[in-house]
Structure 1
Amino acid sequence: MEQLSGVLYKGELEDGCAASASALNDRPIIGVLAQEQHYKFWDKYPEDYTSYIAASYVKALEASGARVVPIMIGKDRSYYEDIMGKLNGVLFPGGATYFNQSNGFADAGQHIYDLAIEMNEAGDYFPVFGTCLGFELIIILASGRGPVENRVTCHSFGNNPLNFTRDFRSSKMYKSADDDIINILSREDITVNHHQFCIVDENLKSHNLTKDWRVTAHSDDANGLKFIASLEHNKYPFYGVQFHPEKIFEWKQTKTYSHSFNAIKANRHFMDFFVNECRKNHHSFADAEEENKCLIYNYNTHFTGAEGSAYEQCYFFEPRNVGKNKVNYTIVAI
């Protein structure tokens, strides 16, 4: 039986037997959800792309041993069903967009969230991780989307330590973390926060989410508001952090992102953890050709930092005609 690059693809057998589902997947491929093109790029790139992914998320996942497939917005449910059947997990990134735009980030996230629940209910271990805006989206999806979003305003544009809950060490996200990583996270200002909305404990209580979701850490905004910094689902492999572990790969000089050895070491924990969760999933592409066509390597990065962006590099997707179908955005979280 032909084996491509050491990988058994769907339908292949090893030594006449099905490959063991209990073995960890050492070639995880993770989907990163794109979002509506940031308004600051409208006049910078004449192609007028519909969506983007900051390259720092790709770098963070690759540094932890995964490859990335971009997941496009504006598709029907069958697209998300198909791609999730080939991926080993999905990351909802941070960014800046509304949640009430048709066929955008939130609608795509709704499909992915619902399908991930279906998969896990069927015994198909499928992890999802949300960062900042993506974290907020997960909780709003869990709350049930409506005209009033289940989050509050805050002002958090600096680096914070984590205030861990008393039982955080029994959580999946932190139980295997080295003591030195926990000490760094709890004592040093190395988690990057950049958001004007957040999730507080009351958001979980008001929508009956406390039985399903477990808070593992808090941080404080500039006005002393205690917001949820990290949490996880009690049943499904769903995780979220309000801060930005990927910012160790962003170098904007006007920002205060820490690049100390401790900051890099501690922030790496989160993507290391998530990628290891994705190793428990055994979805795969039909063959190497299909896999290659979907990987993010098919797209070029743009040096957006030189254009004034807080993102050093970005991937852009699906160009359209200039001047058509533009939507006004607000900066909600990056």
Structure 2
Amino acid sequence: MFNTGVSTYLCLFFACCFCCSRAMPTKLSNEAVNDRSVIGVLTQVVTDEIMKPFGRTYIPSSYVKYIESGGSRVMPIRLTLTTSEYENIFRKINGLIFIGGAADLETSDFARVAKIFYRLALAANDAGDYFPIWGTCMGMQLLTVLVAGENLLTKTPAENLALPLNLTTEAQSSRMFNSFPDELINALTQEPLTGNFHHYGITVKDFQENEMLQSFFTILSTNIAKNGAHFVSTFEGKRYPFYGVQWHPEVNRFQWYRKANFPHSRHAVQLSSELAEFFVNEARRSLHHFDSPAEEESSLIYNYSPVYVANITTYEQIYFF
């Protein structure tokens, strides 16, 4: 049994703590947060003959899992809709990802649809309506074309190559990297954590000589290609929440083809996780929403089933549309 004096003291102590906790509530941010975000992903046109029997367009499941792992959901966006339909979609989703692949960055349907969303995102952010865009590999290349108004890509071959990043002095204070643990930042500069699978990119020289790119983006990292070209490997918008990586953070956790140089180390997995959560946190700042739960549910990737393709491609699974 408790001693009566001790019992009384404990009662008074907890009562005091309770009263104090009510009198001094935790300070909350006034910024609205959307914890049910939906991120749009533009589909890619199927060009590989072996994949054509499954559908006209596709999204590798690794991108879907990557977004979901950060705490968001995915809406696949087809390339055959009208401008008004894309405008309607834009008002409902909370961010957009341009994935890697193979498409003409000026004349393809992928480029045409991306340009519509890019212009909508510019106007929205200018009006105080936060809307982030992320470009991976070809998606990053596409962002340079959209911003520069021309294709400045040159050969920067880094095919099936894992690399550390040469971080710039701006990286540490960037939105993308400033919350990274010091250990991960150090590993990022010393260990091959980024999977590269590209033939083209934007060189540092071409980037710096283009006024549009120079004023729009901050270079966060660079790398050297197999041919010696010094290319931009990571950037983020100065004014707009637009981000680009010439490498593939999604493969670190969700692709396992044995002949591909996919980084799977502890730091590689941590890097992928940090970036997925970073972009989803950016999407949480968007208050766009669907008109009804039923409309939202019918728009999500959950309405489709991925196809196992590891026996014919470097992907494990692909969604076809």
State TM-score, norm by structure 2: 0.87
From 216, 220, 223, give the equivalent of 2:224.
Answer: 220
Distance in 2 (CA, whole Å) between partners of 1:224 and 1:165 is 19
**Residue 156 of structure 1 pairs with residue 158 of structure 2:** yes
Corresponding position of 2:143:
138
Corresponding position of 1:77:
83
Higher relative contact order, chain-length normalized (CA < 8 Å, sep 6+): 1
Is 1:80–1:112's contact at 8 Å kept on the other side of the alignment?
A: yes
**Per the alignment, do residues 21 and 35 of structure 1 end up closer, same or farther by CA in structure 2, a change over 3 Å counting?**
farther
Cα offsets for 1:110-162 (capped at 9, x unmatched):
111111001111110000000000000011111114xxx21111210200000
Which AA in structure 1 matches 2:36? R
From 31, 38, 41, give the equivalent of 1:32.
Answer: 41
From 109, 126, 131, give the equivalent of 1:126.
Answer: 131
- Structure 1 stretches of 4+ moved >3 Å: 40-43
Alignment of 1:41-120 (within 5 A): 41-42=50-51, 45=53, 49-102=55-108, 104-120=109-125
Is 1:216–1:231's contact at 8 Å kept on the other side of the alignment?
A: yes
Identity of counterpart residues, as a percentage? Answer: 38
Corresponding position of 1:256:
261
Distance in 1 (CA, whole Å) between partners of 2:268 and 2:244 is 19
**Residue 313 of structure 1 pairs with residue 317 of structure 2:** yes
Is 1:21–1:282's contact at 8 Å kept on the other side of the alignment?
A: no
**Residue 287 of structure 1 pairs with residue 287 of structure 2:** no
Distance in 1 (CA, whole Å) between partners of 2:30 and 2:299 is 24
Is 1:184–1:266's contact at 8 Å kept on the other side of the alignment?
A: no
Distance in 2 (CA, whole Å) between partners of 1:130 and 1:77 is 21
Distance in 2 (CA, whole Å) between partners of 1:227 and 1:164 is 12
Is 2:170–2:218's contact at 8 Å kept on the other side of the alignment?
A: no
Corresponding position of 2:189:
186
Is 1:124–1:281's contact at 8 Å kept on the other side of the alignment?
A: yes
Q: Which runs of 5+ in 2 are unaligned?
A: 1-28
1:203 deviation in Å?
Answer: 2.8
Cα offsets for 1:209-254 (capped at 9, x unmatched):
2122100111111122211111011111001000000012111111
Which AA in structure 1 matches 2:263? S
1:33 deviation in Å?
Answer: 0.8
Q: Which runs of 5+ in 1 are unaligned?
A: 1-19, 318-334
Distance in 2 (CA, whole Å) between partners of 1:259 and 1:206 is 36
What root-mean-square deviation, in Å, do the aligned CA atoms of Structure 1 and Structure 2 show?
Answer: 1.5
Corresponding position of 2:14:
none
Corresponding position of 1:177:
180
- How many pairs does the alignment contain? 290
Corresponding position of 1:22:
31
Corresponding position of 2:309:
304
1:38 deviation in Å?
Answer: 3.0
Distance in 2 (CA, whole Å) between partners of 1:195 and 1:206 is 22
Q: Report which of the two has the higher share of helix.
A: 2
Distance in 2 (CA, whole Å) between partners of 1:316 and 1:38 is 13
1:21 deviation in Å?
Answer: 7.8
3-state SS in 2 of match to 1:245 = coil
Distance in 2 (CA, whole Å) between partners of 1:38 and 1:259 is 28
